[in-house]
Structure 1
Amino acid sequence: MINRYSTMLRAALAGLLLAALAACGGGSDSGPSAASEADGVVLHRGNGTEPNTLDPHQANGTWENNIIGDMLIGLYTEDANGKPVFGSAVGHQISEDGLTHTFQIREDMTWSDGTPVTAADFVFAWQRILDPATAAPYASLIYPFKNAAAVNAGEMPPSELGARAIDDKTLELDLETPTPFLATLMTHYTTFPVPKHVLEEAGDDWIKPGTMVTNGAYVVDTWRPNSFVKLVKNENFYDADNVQIDTVFYYPTDDVSSAFRRFRAGELDINACSQCYPIQQVSWIDQNMPGVKHNEIILSFTYVTFNTNVEPFDDARVRRALGLAIDRDVLTRQVTRAGEVPAYNIVPPGIDNYVDNAPQMAEAGWTQQRRNAEARRLLAEAGFDENNPLTFAVKYRLAGDRKQIMVAMQDMWRQIGVEAQLEGAEPKVAYADYRARNFEVADAGWVADYNDPQNFLFLVQGDTGPINYADYSNPDFDALMNEAALTMDLDARADILAEAEALMLPDMPIAPIYFSVNRNLVGLHIENWNDNVIGIQRTRWLEINEAKRKTY
């Protein structure tokens, strides 16, 4: 079984390699020629996917986070190692019960137009993201704020949110429950301030170049769709004197082969995303480009999600069968080959505030042959066999090596008598379909917004909203998640969260595949780049040493 499968897989990958080698290059206006001498010290960053928006209340991808986080800064921000440190705030006090937080905002914090950043900007931003009219895909991320869920559901007006401007530079925030991850949550773009004075005049057009003002290290200068986003240094940023890079270009690099050629030619200084170099080139890169490959271990996982509203994926037996048939060892050892770890649960190892031995699928220790036999049994029990085979469509992201991975999984499902039709789409299109539940089965991934298991388990929580792609609802699971939210003792909280994960896994609304790594390429001339578990390296911390620049 394994040898026959390996031969088939090698043949499939060989065909895909030939296709990749025939891929064409990027457009003529997408490289460093877009920069000029007036731009000063320039950084060219490959960013994976074209952003849908620069509005932190409409964003939902790491490719948008990278850009937005260079321009806007929350109460906390990431340091050069990805750790939370004060950003817009200079002080933070917590009440004895952990429910009231008071922040002092920097006196020298202004918007890029010179207008002071005030506590009212934060209150305005949080009310806006929770307003049902905004339809923010990530609003649930700040449900720990007092009354946030009720406001987002339209049950309370935004003015009832538990956030108050005591004065221009003092902000008070009430929480529903003690939130041990609040500092890291406050580094996320959903919590960033937005300029009230600009939005009140420009409305949704506030993010357009020439109109947008920011409080971070950079401000948008140009956005040429499907070509680049150009940011320039914000001279009114409180730490502008220590920002070494004057201009940064962000490029969509969905075409991994083209992006790899651009990096070799020196058109990209960095290509940073989940799959930013071709897997076929791993050995060549190691031999010819030593030091540029950064396989960054991050808090992230790749998974298959099932639309539980659609037959037969409302049946846990069918979901489990498809999840069991995925040979995670083959995928990570023969296809991805960058240090990914097979996943039999959804909370990554090494995460803060969790149990040492996370619960796993009951079949985690089985051989793949035994898993496949169980998958066939479950399918037969659900009414599917060779006389009534299961066929379905799988939507997947056309980025990086996703096609190779999906072709391999398609063959794995064939081993249990199932036929999957692959439907590729650009990532932003695919994720829009996922949020709209416009799929049967889909390939997805998740990178931690903050270092806490809640940020993974909430993906299948009933009130999470659009990013609960499976639209899974389990009252017992939700009750445990709510109980954990009310628990102040971190060890007791970890036990409750582990109980919730153990309860959910047999239902398999999503099938974990592997814990991910970022396959980044970083030029030797880029200094202060530090790999970290959240996979965030803000441009303000980076420097360029021209003496070390190389092409390949």
Structure 2
Amino acid sequence: MNKTRIAKWMVTVSVTAAVLGGLVASTKTAQAAPKLKLEYKNDKSAKKDATLRIGYADDGSFKGVFSPELSNDAATSEVSQFGTVGLFKVDDNYKFVKGGLADVDFDRENKTATIKVSDKANWSDGQPVVARDLVFAYEIIANKESGSARYTDQLANIVGMEEYHAGKADAISGLEVKDDKTLVVHFKEMAPTMGTSGAGYIWEYAEPYHYLKDVAMKDLASNDKLRKEPLFYGPFKIKKMVQGESIEWVPNTYYSQKPKVKKLTVETVSTSQAAAAVKAGKYDILLNQTPQVYDAVKNEKDFVQLGKPMLYYSYMGFRVGTVDKDGNSVMDKTAVTKDRALRQAMAYAMNIDQVQEKFGYGLSYRANTLVPAAFGKWNDKHATGYKLNMKKAKALLDEAGYKVQKDGYRTQPNGKKLTLTLMANKSSKNFEASVKNYIQQWKELGVRVKLMNGRFQEFNSMSEKLISGAKDFDIWMGAWSTSSEPTDVAANYSKTSAYNFGHFVTKENTELINSLSSEKAFDENYRRKQLYKWQEYMNKEAFIVPMTFTHSTISVSKDVKGMTLDVSDSDTLWSNVALTK
């Protein structure tokens, strides 16, 4: 599985839905990770009528809203990847190339993108994918009644998109349907990253207009046509499902390439049971392994381990703002975390390296910025991030007027009690132990931190709180699988992004984000320089504190054939995977 490519429908607008609870390790122990292979070669002959059994390691359940425009949980993207695929083919650098279910060409002079849908793209009910289906996907995102969190500044760059989003127009004027198979997208301005998958300027998925057009926008996410009987244009379609737990997939007979297995089953398995399930031979492939599971199964003789550096980072976030009536982020002058000195001090008090040496199993290490190291030259390697420095952390609070009381805890500079509420999801024992460790570190600093309601939160309810702009927490632990365009990582923290969960908004941040898509940014050196400035600025402000980078790994039975993590093969991956036993 190519995790970044498969998760791409979650991150096209610059993120994948929150993948909270990632555990990770120090740079010293992470040196073993590059030995992981991208592909498993099996020269045996594929067997006919085989059933491919896939496990997805997760401690929650998938929501099962089978729409890239409306789903917000990573689990649903993982279990739906067999039917939900991107329209466009990409190369190893995530650049659009010819040969996908649709092709795209950009015209910088005329500020357009022309999308041509291939005749080989068909819905699982036999209807062809047409240009109107692409337009419909944009409409779902832009229509406020749908509840989509995918609307972004990049999509607002399409002519007429803002008017439609505001309810002032019945159609998006910049989406011009030339014929059934051709859509011309008109932009206000061209951007240097438009030709990269995941940059967010074009939406890379379609929705079946003929099937969903009679469902009200406000009812789409809850309608059975998306929850129980969705259509797909990928290689498989759903035959039966236990909501939130398992899905049985069978070939989409209208897909251009016949899958090599008769059916495919995917089910969630708790992280505590995942290793035992692999050892018992319950699955042919295990996806979404935690480092702990990897460590437990890496020497199993009947399995191979595939892996690669992940476009991912985990982080600690501070809620410093709220949401206005238009859904935009605004700073909250009353937020107890508004003080940068407090945020920096709490970051310096975290012993991330030590935690990862214990729980990362050689796969993960402390992050230095919010741009994953997997992006190579786009990560500012001169940035150090936040190493443990309790002396500096205490000095910051002393200087800022946070006074230590007899009980060892500090007051705010105004003399009021300082207690922060932390929201973290219920996950593996290792993750929960690491969070409790950080709470103890903050206690040593003199900052009282309590888990929300005294416990770890259920993932989906926590996600809903973050997306809705709730104000009953001060800090949260989270992670993102990012877009495949490095500069787009910053867009997640714009004023209008629904995923700016901390609601941090400053003039400088806005200017830096805008510079990444400016006319000057067509010069790659300028664009990289500006991204370095943004990384430095975000580290200084510390409203989102980078914690870890990691490698994704999967267990693959030696009876599996055709399994690869090569991004250039991801569009045909699941139609090529077979079993030899």
TM over 0.5: yes
CA 450–231 in structure 1, closer or farther in 2 if over 3 Å, else same: same
Asked which structure has the greater RCO (Cα within 8 Å, sep 6+), the reply is: 2
Aligned pair partner of 1:198 in 205, 208, 211: 211
Q: CA deviation at 1:41?
A: 2.7
- Aligned partner of 1:421 in structure 2 is 450
Looking at structure 2, the residues matched to 189 and 220 of structure 1 have their Cα atoms a distance apart, in angstroms, of 27
Looking at structure 1, the residues matched to 458 and 110 of structure 2 have their Cα atoms a distance apart, in angstroms, of 43
| 1:411 equivalenced with 2:444 (yes/no) | no
Aligned pair partner of 2:339 in 297, 311, 315: 315
| 1:251 equivalenced with 2:260 (yes/no) | no
Looking at structure 2, the residues matched to 86 and 66 of structure 1 have their Cα atoms a distance apart, in angstroms, of 25
Looking at structure 2, the residues matched to 411 and 167 of structure 1 have their Cα atoms a distance apart, in angstroms, of 62
Looking at structure 2, the residues matched to 490 and 80 of structure 1 have their Cα atoms a distance apart, in angstroms, of 18
Is the 2:371–2:378 contact (alpha carbons within 8 Å) kept by the matching residues of 1?
no
The residue type paired with residue 386 of structure 1 is V
Spell out, residue by residue over 1:458-515, the C-alpha distance to the aligned partner (whole angstroms, 9 max, x if none).
Answer: 23222212x1111111111111211221222222122122222222321111111111
- Aligned partner of 1:346 in structure 2 is 370
Aligned pair partner of 1:506 in 519, 540, 556: 540
Mapping of residues 370-449 of structure 1, within 5 Å: 371-387=389-405, 388-389=409-410, 390-400=418-428, 401-422=430-451, 423-438=455-470, 439-449=473-483
| 1:474 equivalenced with 2:506 (yes/no) | yes
CA 501–286 in structure 1, closer or farther in 2 if over 3 Å, else same: closer
Q: CA deviation at 1:107?
A: 1.9
CA 409–507 in structure 1, closer or farther in 2 if over 3 Å, else same: same
Is the 1:307–1:437 contact (alpha carbons within 8 Å) kept by the matching residues of 2?
no
Mapping of residues 14-33 of structure 1, within 5 Å: none
Looking at structure 1, the residues matched to 337 and 533 of structure 2 have their Cα atoms a distance apart, in angstroms, of 24
Q: CA deviation at 1:142?
A: 4.8
Mapping of residues 216-295 of structure 1, within 5 Å: 216-240=234-258, 243-253=259-269, 255-273=270-288, 275=290, 277-278=292-293, 282=295, 284-289=296-301, 291-295=303-307
- Aligned partner of 2:530 in structure 1 is 496
- Aligned partner of 2:7 in structure 1 is none
* Equivalent position SS for 1:540: helix
Looking at structure 1, the residues matched to 173 and 268 of structure 2 have their Cα atoms a distance apart, in angstroms, of 37
- Please tell me the root mean square deviation across aligned C-alpha atoms, in Å: 3.3
The residue type paired with residue 351 of structure 2 is D
Aligned residues: 498
TM-score (norm 2): 0.77
- Aligned partner of 1:44 in structure 2 is 54
Looking at structure 1, the residues matched to 93 and 281 of structure 2 have their Cα atoms a distance apart, in angstroms, of 26
**Could you tell which deviates more after superposition, 207-216 or 144-153?**
144-153
- Aligned partner of 2:484 in structure 1 is 450
Looking at structure 1, the residues matched to 456 and 383 of structure 2 have their Cα atoms a distance apart, in angstroms, of 30
Looking at structure 1, the residues matched to 201 and 398 of structure 2 have their Cα atoms a distance apart, in angstroms, of 45
- Aligned partner of 1:3 in structure 2 is none
The residue type paired with residue 44 of structure 1 is I
* Equivalent position SS for 1:303: strand
Is the 1:392–1:441 contact (alpha carbons within 8 Å) kept by the matching residues of 2?
yes
Is the 1:372–1:416 contact (alpha carbons within 8 Å) kept by the matching residues of 2?
yes
* Equivalent position SS for 2:373: coil
Q: CA deviation at 1:384?
A: 2.8
| 1:460 equivalenced with 2:493 (yes/no) | yes
* Equivalent position SS for 2:486: coil
CA 156–66 in structure 1, closer or farther in 2 if over 3 Å, else same: farther
More helix by share: 1
Is the 1:528–1:542 contact (alpha carbons within 8 Å) kept by the matching residues of 2?
yes
* Equivalent position SS for 2:77: helix
CA 42–199 in structure 1, closer or farther in 2 if over 3 Å, else same: same
Q: CA deviation at 1:67?
A: 3.4
* Equivalent position SS for 2:310: strand
Q: Which runs of 5+ in 1 are unaligned?
A: 1-12, 14-37, 548-552
The residue type paired with residue 479 of structure 1 is E
The residue type paired with residue 131 of structure 1 is N
**Could you tell which deviates more after superposition, 257-266 or 532-541?**
532-541
* Equivalent position SS for 1:485: coil
Is the 2:174–2:186 contact (alpha carbons within 8 Å) kept by the matching residues of 1?
yes
Looking at structure 1, the residues matched to 569 and 480 of structure 2 have their Cα atoms a distance apart, in angstroms, of 12
- Aligned partner of 2:232 in structure 1 is 214
**Could you tell which deviates more after superposition, 120-129 or 400-409?**
400-409
Q: CA deviation at 1:302?
A: 0.6
